[in-house]
Amino acid sequence: MARVITLRDALREGMSEEMRKDPNVFLMGEEVAEYNGAYKVSKGMLDEFGPKRVIDTPIAELGFAGIGVGAAMNGLRPIVEFMTWNFAVLAFDQIVNNAAKTLSQSAGEFRCPILFRGPSGAAGQLAQQHSQTFESWLANCPGLKVISCIDPYDAKGLIKSAIQDDDPVCMMESEILYGLQGEVPEEEYYVPIGVAAVRRTGKDVTIVSFNKMMEVVKSAAVELEKEGIDAEVIDLRTIRPLDIRTIVESVKKTNRLVVVDESWPFAGISSEITYQVQKYAFDYLDAPVTRVNAADVSLGYAPTMVQEYLPNPEKVIKAVKAVMYR
């Protein structure tokens, strides 16, 4: 039976269910315990699981990420929360050079079952150093799995799969959408890593996106329908491994593709999808693949600059019409 709950509640439920089943699972990060989480995702977890399994850390991302990696190599299953992935840049040495490479460096002798999670991307007027999107940074590294979603159903199912995964997983969330509501079943379930979701079926154009840009794409699709353009909308859910098969099958039907990606255009997820679609479905394309990205600059503080910087429904609609009416 499905209930309507928020994204933060879905994440909390997923973590709590796995912690109840496995005493080796624990949560650590800045303000996750006494303060109930910077975004209240871990509200009440300290009371249930105690201070040995819900652990407040100092403001030292490199340090506590390293503790998590060491714990994972010794049989535990840590969940490491970053207040924002912008702060996790300090911990990339542990994520990229240790967690991601543990299996290969040990010739398969050691695994690193760890989940790194927190919000990625712009969140209003937070300016340059707190508004970056990190999916492409992390997905570039072999050995890491990267999840990026905002749907509460998917978030719960994916975080449970990530906690049980024997490899390091990076979960990218959105701090401005923790209150987003959606239907989530009461019974236990899992969402597999590496499978995209078709959110809307259509015949004229395929629009691919992920994370909070899905809200932008869905709004654009509604407006396009009013003009007689039937868009198929695909939510990646997982960035790596990328479900290119679902995208290619859609493009074979619609013959047109627009990729909406909040990150910068150079060397981003949209670039990789464009390359792979042209590799596997070039003969099916009736127009070049078009991308809608953030502006290729650091994000300013002023609200007018934020609006101009980010993809929005109007930009998506313009891109769709460009591939439709060539």
> Are 2-185 and 197-324 equal in CATH topology?
yes
Q: Return per-residue pLDDT of the chain as tens, 326 residues.
A: 679 999 999 999 999 999 999 999 999 999 999 999 999 999 999 999 999 999 999 999 999 999 999 999 999 999 999 999 999 999 999 999 999 999 998 888 889 999 999 999 777 766 666 768 899 999 999 999 999 999 999 999 999 999 999 999 999 999 999 999 999 999 999 999 999 999 999 999 999 999 999 999 999 999 999 999 999 999 999 999 999 999 999 999 999 999 999 999 999 999 999 999 999 999 999 999 999 999 898 877 777 878 888 899 999 999 999 999 87
Neighbours of 284 (CB within 10 A): 16
> Is residue 314 helix, strand or coil?
helix
pLDDT for the residue 189: 97
**Do you know the residue count of the chain?**
326
Rg over CA atoms, the chain:
20
Residue with tokens 């792979």: 276
Amino acid at site 266 = F
Q: Please tell me the distance from the alpha carbon of residue 42 to that of residue 67, in angstroms, as a whole number.
A: 20
Give the CATH number of domain 2-185.
Answer: 3.40.50.970
Q: Say what the alpha-carbon torsion angle 197, 291, 142, 250 is, to the nearest 10 degrees.
A: 30
Contacts with 221 (C-beta within 8 Å, 6 or more apart), sequence order: 200, 202, 207, 231, 233
Q: Pinpoint the alpha helices (H) of 188-243.
A: 213-226
pLDDT for the residue 299: 79
pTM over 0.75: yes
Amino acid at site 23 = P
Strand partners, 260: 292
Given strand 231-235, what is the order of strands in its sheet?
197-200, 231-235, 205-209, 257-261, 290-293
pLDDT for the residue 51: 97
DSSP state of 74: T
φ and ψ of 12, to 5 deg = -60, -45
CATH architecture classification, 197-324: 3-Layer(aba) Sandwich (3.40)
Residues recognised as catalytic: 61, 130
Domain boundaries defined on the chain: 2-185, 197-324
Residues 112, 150 contacting (CB under 8 angstroms): no
List the structure tokens of 284: 């099916």
Q: Please tell me the distance from the alpha carbon of residue 206 to that of residue 289, in angstroms, as a whole number.
A: 10
pLDDT for the residue 173: 96
